[in-house]
Structure 1
């Protein structure tokens, strides 16, 4: 079972000085940070209004995860983005932000068009019913308290191991062989990265 601890991720400042980004995961892992990857998941701290970086050939999904409101302008059209409401847009588009209620954090899913399709949903956790995390998924604890155990599967038998506590923004990497299972109270982001259908390219 793989857990990516947010506290271990080094912040990278933006070129325009408007914030910092912490990269949670990318594929392939050995790809450099210059956009040669096929997908990337990250959390950004936005401290002032300004332009977003362009990602030509990519598709983006973002959601405010801390703070109240981000006003995102994409190709001249304004979109008021409230907390926990994902928004999809083209990485080719000219985009910029306003922060009418102050600093925010946002979760970013960026995928190469024609190679992968990224999805982002935000769910409320339960203490009674475990939420599995499958292959191709990442589960990021946004708020509250949660623990994860290795689920049942071909390699795990009937499930094994003690529960592991998660901190805020810690990420559980999914698996089909022994899908990790989350229990707790709070909200979790489920990021799914599916190979694109060639017919949609």
Structure 2
């Protein structure tokens, strides 16, 4: 079972100084130069998909990502007023919103700083989805291949269910830790709080 610990992720500052981003996971684009995906926060071209968590502390323009689709979800704070190609969209907490990465986008912070979860996928190659679910202490939530389970709020543990060795107990999750899904040894998450389930689907063709 693989867990990506948020505390170990490197913060990368935005070009406009309006916030920082931490990459949770990404898939390098075939043929990309080694290490090029690390520059993906600033510009597209080095990855086919990317999951990241950003802290937004100042109103301003968002970086453009031509050739990408984007799903943005406010996960901390009350409201992001997002402008996409001149149309305003008030984004409340835990309400995913999909838009083109090539759009002229900017954000305002009427209620203060926010943190958001971003899922980028290359148009025509992959499709990204974000679902917010409430965890249960009685029924474990599985995380399958092509998915990430990210703890947004509350307390939770991850284990391999029936496949877990007796000597190995469940792993405690901290806020924003991500559990990497699998179909062969499927992790299960138990607890109380809210979980973001990010799915990355490869499109046919």
Bin the TM-score by the shorter chain. Answer: over 0.9
Q: Is the counterpart of residue 6 in structure 1 residue 16 in structure 2?
A: no
Length-normalised TM-score, structure 2: 0.91
- After TM superposition, list the pairs within 5 Å mapping 1:170-181 onto structure 2: 170-181=177-188
Q: Which moved more, 1:129-138 or 1:29-38?
A: 29-38
Q: Is the counterpart of residue 193 in structure 1 residue 200 in structure 2?
A: yes
Q: Is the counterpart of residue 68 in structure 1 residue 78 in structure 2?
A: yes
Q: How far 1:151 sits from its partner (Å)? A: 3.1
Q: Is the counterpart of residue 124 in structure 1 residue 134 in structure 2?
A: yes
Q: How far 1:114 sits from its partner (Å)? A: 1.0
Q: Is the counterpart of residue 19 in structure 1 residue 29 in structure 2?
A: no
CA distance in 1, matches of 2:186, 2:11: 29
Partner of 1:166: 173
What per-residue deviation string (whole Å, max 9, x for no partner) do you get for residues 88-130 of structure 1? 0000100000000000000000000111100000000000000
Q: How far 1:16 sits from its partner (Å)? A: 0.3
Q: How far 1:170 sits from its partner (Å)? A: 0.3
Partner of 2:47: 37
Q: Is the counterpart of residue 81 in structure 1 residue 121 in structure 2?
A: no
Question: Gaps spanning 5+ residues in structure 1: where?
Answer: none
Q: How far 1:196 sits from its partner (Å)? A: 1.2
Partner of 1:101: 111
Tell me the secondary structure at the aligned position of residue 170 of structure 2.
strand
Q: How many residues align?
A: 193
Displacement over 6 Å in runs of 4+ = none
Q: How far 1:197 sits from its partner (Å)? A: 2.8
CA distance in 1, matches of 2:69, 2:83: 16
Question: Gaps spanning 5+ residues in structure 2: where?
Answer: none
CA distance in 2, matches of 1:138, 1:180: 10
Length-normalised TM-score, structure 1: 0.93
CA distance in 2, matches of 1:28, 1:125: 32
